[in-house]
Chains A and B, each alone.
Chain A
């Protein structure tokens, strides 16, 4: 890593997250100036342009890619038109111990005076919460589901190669052509299209203005600069900004700067979930790399340094400050910008190129949480690339995660995409599948599957809110067979899915009508051609996802009931339900029976895994294919972010012995401590789910560093990945355990039943080792890390 990058990385990782009020100021000014006199899309575009014309600029000494979302690194803008924070919200953001955003008394006073009076009753959040039905509110309060768009915009949007082939001046011309081609006589929507297209044109001006302002600033700084080297860099920055974003990039450096300007505009226009992602960056910028290298203008060291400067930019932008349930479902600074490296080309050939390896080097050297750097592994991916990715993953900080190219393509084609569009696709956010550049695939919320069973067992009554909120389908005594109980569970699930999707239909309409995103629409196919907004169905494909959470917990809970209540008659359903209410405190024998002799998911045991399949299939079929407002369909994926913690908080103890308020299982991983037969058994269980009918699943695996040590360790890791992917697994990531976790495992062995450690010449479950040997391994691991 060069000294330049070291310094920029240091700034990025030590800057204190703060709130920037600038965006709120200029957007509010713009609304006051223009609202009512122009159409809604034009209003949005004018606000973006006004912001870009007036916002402060920031060039850090030494950086080679310029532009920040806020006024400095780690400064997060606010979006009052979506979510108008109260003064108390700001105070909480300032004071909370984790995921804080510092803001000053002066900022809070200004916000109270200028922002709150204008936005508090006009924000989208206010609008949404005031039109939701009572049953939606009850379910939301009970933690049956979350609502993604209640304080952030529709997102999970990924860049295609569009921005590298054309500049925004070219797009302005395309837009003008589209306006000229409108047929007002035969198309009743023509005028609405015109408003939308006109807004896109204004949004082009917004980004072009930003580029030229940076050009001017860089020249101004260069003139006053005495350090020849930095002066020369500043002039390069100025020259780059003279080209991009107005025109198509000509060099590798300009291509990266182009992406970054686009990223800033997408994430300033609205605060879409998962920011914005470069997608297949290695393939997009490879032509520039090759041309620059061939003409002698670029070598690998410099290309790596430029990529690292871009990485710093991603890391400088914390996720927008969240409050309430939304903070709980995604309690992190990470904004999930996600880079897919590898995979295959649009022609179906191996997509790994020299830039792919540079991105791996960049990932390895930078070790930053953002951007989320992932690899797509296809059958055609060379082992050299997979092994290098495994080597980085074995260092234990969770990146890269591994995605299955063939599964992604099948998932996309199962959802109606063409082969050509599917090959250009990938995953973004956590694991969500999308047709990059062609699709608006919007996450609507997490769905708490285990809680549905809890409501069913208590005849619709929710202990968390103290209300009867579910269908009343019977008391425990009424369910005289497993099938009757399971049927009631399914009806209860369908009921709440109906409530959730009814709410989502209203929310999607609100966004379509009041929160268009003309800038994002420029770069998403086919919004210009159709004259429709990204949020209103303008994209080629329009998917809405509902994310199922807790498949491990629900499977184990049903397995426990089936085995102990109906098969073996160890206890009655009433006794179980009563014990759950007391957190099993009055039923230690029952608790022990459940924990020690229930077939749990994650052990390659069909007794449990068949139940997993039943629940997944029902959930998947109940959601998939329902229409959304944007002309597309609903689909499911299976991921939690941090929502499994929140969903656990709103629940009593569950029938699998999970105690009250403890997290439910995450992703499609087994519940903590449930899997005791090692990683191959986990993978086999997980692969029994039909991943290809989802839009993504998430599997975490834990290892200690020594299990993966050496070439043999990496080869085995690579083989695990290839095996899982051959079974159509969608995604896998690895936790390589550190000392702290081992200490925790020692204190809470039951929660780490699946933890495998390398002892000496063989591996064993950590829980099966004596205290002394555990101590020895903990010490040894520390040395390994030292």
Chain B
């Protein structure tokens, strides 16, 4: 029997992940995130507990889910199930009975051994491609060190390259604790403007930026990742100027501009979230222009995409 202390919730383990660091990787997505980015593309990882995802567009109205639900959270309107997410406890009883595959639970408790077993399976691919494992989320740094350190130690014992994909929003002591086991940090900067950052993500960015400088001083290998979200974040020349200024003095290997994509919208709907602001994907020309701007500031390696 797994105890709560021995497990943590993971909402996806993606093998053949090729956009989260070098080479072919396995990315572990941990549940739970202290930020609430308006454009979040993995909203099913926001909560640290499991969440129900329900795609109404797939529902065929057969009623099996309502019969299976112990909480009376499912009613019917216009031939389709309607989910009362407030009443749903994400127990998952409705998932196997749904013939339309409209239901899924994001997040299941996993032990260190279970995670490592999956990660080790693709060792051959890591070795051939220069890849490894990326710990992501949610926010991996929001996980307890009691879980993270044994996981990292086990992965290093297997001699697997480990990247940490983080928003940097965590006490530095925690980051310092994982540093000895981390080959690279994929470090997100959502916005260098603190007011904007608060508005768009719900948290202040001063901890994030100071952690970045400390991490740099401590000699970590850092890859900066910057989302380009039109019209709100990192989409103007001024944004790039400000970004470059903040990065001045920070030692990092390269910078990725990550264009906004709209998968999040669909998943938000499936989680019963109200739709928020709408954003647009920047054009290739715009991305190239932003890239040029950064290059003009002396940042040598700027890439578009993950």
Contact = CB atoms under 8 A, between A and B. Distances in A.
Nearest to A592: B99
Contacts of B221: none
Nearest to A771: B57
Contact of B18 (A597, A684, A707, A723): A707
A773 B128 contact: no
A693 to B, nearest CB: 21
A720 B24 contact: yes
A604 B259 contact: no
A43 interface: no
Interface string B40-78: 010000000000000001000000000000000000000
Interface centre among A680, A761, A771, A772 (most CB of B within 10 A): A761
B263 A680 contact: no
A281 to B, nearest CB: 28
A712 B121 contact: no
Nearest to B282: A760
Nearest to A749: B101
Interface stretch (A46-54, A73-81, A642-650, A762-770): A762-770
Contacts of B258: 761
B36 interface: no
Contacts of A715: 23, 129
A604 B128 contact: no
A680 B24 contact: yes
Nearest to B53: A768
Nearest to B261: A760
B16 A679 contact: yes
Contact of A761 (B23, B122, B305): B305
A681 interface: yes
Interface in A715-744: 715-716, 719-720, 722-723, 726-727
Contacts of B128: 719-720, 722-723, 726
Contact of B16 (A678, A727, A760, A771): A678
B263 A769 contact: yes
B125 interface: yes
B18 A763 contact: yes
Interface centre among B19, B128, B266 (most CB of A within 10 A): B128
A726 B19 contact: no
A604 B18 CA distance: 19
A182 interface: no
Given A588-B99, A716-B24, A726-B128, A770 B16 contact: no
Contacts of A264: none
B296 interface: no
Contacts of B216: none
Nearest to A762: B19
B81 to A, nearest CB: 16
A757 to B, nearest CB: 11
B125 A720 contact: yes
A684 to B, nearest CB: 6
Q: How large is the interface on B (under 10, 10 to 19, 20 to 34, 35 or more residues)?
A: 20 to 34
A30 B15 CA distance: 64
Nearest to A712: B18
Nearest to B258: A761
Contact of A763 (B19, B23, B124, B266): B19
A762 B258 CA distance: 9
A136 to B, nearest CB: 43
A756 interface: yes
A495 interface: no
B14 A759 contact: no
A683 B306 CA distance: 24
A596 B306 contact: no
Given A681-B15, A684-B121, A720-B24, A773 B263 contact: yes
Contact of B15 (A680, A761, A769): A680
A597 B96 contact: yes
B282 to A, nearest CB: 10
A765 B124 CA distance: 23
Nearest to A703: B16
Interface string B5-48: 00000000011111110011000000000000000010000000
Contacts of B20: 762
Interface string A482-516: 00000000000000000000000000000000000
A719 B305 contact: no
B262 interface: yes
A772 B261 CA distance: 12
A521 B76 CA distance: 76
Interface string B120-149: 011011011111000000000000000000
B201 interface: no
A596 B19 contact: no
B292 interface: no
B259 A713 contact: no
Contacts of B15: 677-678, 680-681
Contacts of B111: none
Nearest to A709: B305
A719 B266 contact: no
Given A759-B261, A761-B261, A716 B18 contact: yes
Contacts of B101: 596
Nearest to A591: B99
A723 B23 CA distance: 13
B281 interface: yes
B259 A760 contact: yes
Contacts of A726: 124, 128
B262 A773 contact: yes
Contact of A764 (B99, B260, B263): B263
Contacts of A762: 19-20, 41, 261, 306
A394 to B, nearest CB: 13
A723 B263 CA distance: 31
Interface string A444-474: 0000000000000000000000000000000
A761 B99 contact: no
A567 to B, nearest CB: 16
Contacts of B122: 680, 684
Contacts of A681: 15-16, 121
A680 B262 contact: no
A681 B306 CA distance: 22
A680 B16 contact: yes
A719 B263 contact: no
B19 A727 contact: no
Nearest to A770: B266
Contacts of B262: 772-773
A680 B24 CA distance: 9
Contacts of B16: 678-681, 756, 763
Contacts of A722: 128
A362 to B, nearest CB: 28
A764 B261 CA distance: 12
Contacts of A679: 16
Contact of A678 (B14, B19, B281): B14
A673 B266 CA distance: 23
Nearest to A684: B121
Nearest to A603: B15
B125 A761 contact: no
Interface string A659-695: 0000000000000000001111101100000000000
Nearest to A682: B16
Interface string B86-98: 0000000000100
A763 B122 CA distance: 18
A723 B127 CA distance: 8
A683 B125 CA distance: 10
Interface string A300-320: 000000000000000000000
Interface centre among B18, B96, B259 (most CB of A within 10 A): B18
13 contacts: A678-B14, A679-B16, A719-B131, A723-B124, A759-B261, A761-B261, A762-B19, A762-B41, A762-B261, A763-B17, A769-B266, A770-B57, A772-B266
Question: Which 3 residue pairs are nearest across A and B when measured between Cβ atoms?
Answer: A719-B129, A760-B261, A770-B266
Given A713-B18, A719-B23, 14 more contacts: A604-B121, A680-B121, A684-B121, A716-B18, A716-B24, A716-B129, A719-B125, A719-B130, A726-B124, A726-B128, A727-B124, A760-B281, A761-B305, A769-B263
